[in-house]
């Protein structure tokens, strides 16, 4: 039920309006509870377009998504040289792009959106395991002074940390081959 509610056209329109308002120079007009209170069936087909605020265009949303995509691809190519904090930042960027893509999914072809979302999810999974290992490793390293048995966990987690690097790199290499679902942003005229 919640998934259907979140994917409803009215809910997506509200989120897109809020997202558009947060863009630099973005203004979608006032969005008030009263303007959203009427159920969709209470608004006639002609009335909705006239009363709806200006939603951001797919190009306005494509620019920040494309910037995030470029950062992800850049960091993916140099994953082996990143420290653990930068790897976690890459994971968060992938998650942010995936959620933003799902939010704006109605703007672009469904097949392209699904393909990219699937690629993002497949990259997110090994990076999540990797980050869980990094957090556990830091936790157990803090305990070695109080309890020598923590060294066993540190050794096991360090081996897991090293073993997870390859699956992460493979998933990121596959992600780098994916195509964005949005149109290429317009080049600024100079």
Six token digits for residue 149? 């048995």
Q: What is the pLDDT along the chain (190 residues), one digit of tens a residue?
A: 555 656 666 666 666 666 666 655 554 444 444 444 444 444 444 444 444 455 556 777 888 999 999 999 999 999 999 999 999 999 999 999 999 999 888 889 999 999 999 999 999 999 999 999 999 999 999 999 999 999 999 999 999 999 999 999 999 999 999 999 998 877 766 6
Task: Note whether 55 and 16 are within 8 A (CB).
Answer: yes
User: Radius of gyration of the chain from Cα atoms?
Assistant: 22
pLDDT recorded at residue 60: 78
CA distance 52 to 60: 18
HSE-up of 132 (CA within 13 Å, CB side)?
A: 8
DSSP letter (8 states) at residue 93: H
Sorted by sequence, the CB contacts under 8 Å of residue 82 that are 6+ apart come out as 75, 90
CA distance 158 to 164: 10
* H or E stretch at 85: helix 84-103
Cα 67 to the center of its chain, rounded Å: 12
Q: Cα dist. 28→19, 32, 36, 161, 183 in Å?
A: 9, 12, 14, 46, 21
CA distance 160 to 130: 8
Domains of the chain: 58-176 (1.40.20.10)
pTM for the whole thing? 0.70
CA angle 56, 58, 59 (to 5 degrees): 95
What is the residue whose two structure tokens read 């209470």? 42
């Amino acid at each position: 039920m919640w998934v259907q509610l979140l994917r409803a056209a009215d809910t997506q329109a509200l989120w897109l309006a809020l997202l558009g308002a947060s863009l630099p120079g973005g203004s979608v007009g006032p969005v008030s509870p009263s303007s959203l209170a009427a159920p969709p069936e209470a608004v006639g087909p002609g009335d909705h377009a006239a009363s709806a605020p200006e939603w951001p265009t797919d190009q306005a949303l494509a620019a920040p998504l494309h910037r995030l995509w470029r950062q992800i691809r850049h960091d993916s190519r140099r994953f082996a040289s990143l420290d653990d904090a930068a790897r976690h930042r890459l994971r968060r960027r992938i998650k942010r792009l995936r959620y933003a893509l799902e939010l704006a999914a109605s703007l672009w072809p469904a097949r392209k959106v699904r393909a990219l979302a699937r690629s993002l999810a497949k990259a997110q999974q090994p990076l999540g395991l990797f980050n869980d290992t990094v957090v556990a490793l830091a936790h157990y390293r803090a305990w070695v002074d109080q309890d020598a048995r923590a060294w066993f966990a540190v050794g096991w987690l360090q081996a897991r940390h090293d073993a997870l690097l390859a699956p992460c790199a493979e998933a990121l290499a596959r992600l780098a081959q994916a195509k964005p679902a949005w149109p290429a942003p317009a080049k600024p005229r100079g």
